[in-house]
Structure 1
Amino acid sequence: MKMMTTTESLGETAAHWHHFGSLPFGSVSTTVTRPEVNSLSPSNPFIPSPFQYTLFYYSVWGSVRLAMKNFYQLQCKLTMTIYAVTLPIIATTFHLNPPLLDSCTAGCLIPTANSTIWLPYSYPPCLHPGEPVLRWSNATTCNIPNFLTSRSVFLDSSSGMLFAKKRVCFYVEPWHVEYSYNCSDNYLQQSAIFLDHKKYATKRRSKRWMRRRNPTVPRIHFQQERYITEIPEDIPINSLIIKVHATHITNESMYYAMVAPEDSRSANIFTLDTVSGEISLIETR
């Protein structure tokens, strides 16, 4: 590069470098000596050219914009993830509307032992972990349990909500929940409640009523409820021991079978005619 020395005032130098962003290092006197730099030629290693300043500016600004864009996208994804997790829980909690507990037992806001708490019709037939089953009232003056432990439910003290720990259905029977709690004393107390569903409890009662009104009629009838006989010790082989007889309600053909679940050796001692129902001795012991 061709070097030449020029002298200019400090004011002119400041105005020149202010256009490109900053003053050069070493501008402490009234005059400054710098090499002549051609913007189209390679820059001096000590003093950047205006083209290098411009290129550096756009490079840094592009990196900053990319970083801001990535951060914004990450923030949006994180926000959507939080909404996706919390909204179903909030919506489920408000939709189910669990029953309210507002009665005191021995000065403590706890259900009466072995009492039944009814879930409303809006509840599904099966509860899943994390779904609310009972809500503590804030309007009572009795003591609220310090903590409540159970294998089936857990109490969130901050919200006063009792949640299920496991999946349970109400098709067959109520849900028996056992728990330990501490209210104002220093020792644990044991208690239990039944959680039942109004809709499915009504269906269970209807089924029981229908079974009582329409009992199941057996389709096969034996002449005797029991067949009892005595076998002499000297009875010969192939002797007839007893004959059973049964009829079908629609007079269909009958075939007999003999099972000895409590004594498997009997199957080797007796034989049964599957058509006539005759039982004979085939072996003596």
Structure 2
Amino acid sequence: MGPYLLRVIWVLAGLSTTLLGLRLFSKLWRRRPLWWDDHVLVAAWISLMVSIALQTAGVHHGLGRPYHTMDDDRLVTMGVLSISAGFGSILATSWSKTSFALSLLRISTTGRVRIAVWVIIISTNLVFGALGLMQWIQCWPFAKLWNSKMEGSCWPSYIFQGYGAFASAFSGLADITLAILPWKIVWAVAINKKDKIGALLAMSMGVFAGIMPFLKIMTLHTIGNRNTTTVELFIYGTAEPAAAIMAASIPALRALIQQDGHKKPVRFVDMSGKNLASPASSFQVISRNVRT
């Protein structure tokens, strides 16, 4: 199962790296400054790449084989790599969602939408922060995490499994909510229908990212089970932030595929037909960022 894990995670690494690179190139090509959402997304990508590198090293030490077939030395090394890789994917998942939410803050104009986005940002970081902390403090002494024969105690596996299922369900719902909110933001303004539909579809790709956490729930039973492998858990744990990074990058690619990418952006008007020409208009903020 180790080679299979490597093939899947490195394909995900290639796709997420390509789309993120195109996102950054699109902005720099149009001389748009990078904002907080870009920096947070890059941080998520770095965390994902670290996790994938650690998983790759773990495969060379036995990751992908049932735990009961490995000797103690391999189990210790593989345990350190696996736990560290899991923590990296947790950070990548949290930060990739935060990045997309920050992007929505740039175009949201209504108080309720902005409140909803801030609730998602804060709750996402709290939920995944707790998940990452639980991963490291579930055993005492600390080293018993990767050396099960050491004297000490660990929480029952069902505690981490249960909270992991809650975090995954929350993650999926957060992705789906973030994919729906752009419809509330963009549909209320009057722009070219083709541009509106294109922007909304691009910004709704997070629905696909929202599927991964629910699939991951079905693999959580492998935690603490020495008679199986955690390959599927690692695959879905990697696919979740990778899909979120790709979904957050796709909206910025519209400028690269539009033939009029160098033309002046479309202007928004209110429903009465009045042109919103004021630089301070909140709808102009949307007009500048829907194309990003």
TM-score bucket of the superposed structures, by smaller chain: under 0.3
Pick the structure with more helix per residue. 2
TM (normalized to structure 1)?
0.19
Pick the structure with more strand per residue. 1
Q: Which has the larger radius of gyration?
A: 1
TM (normalized to structure 2)?
0.19
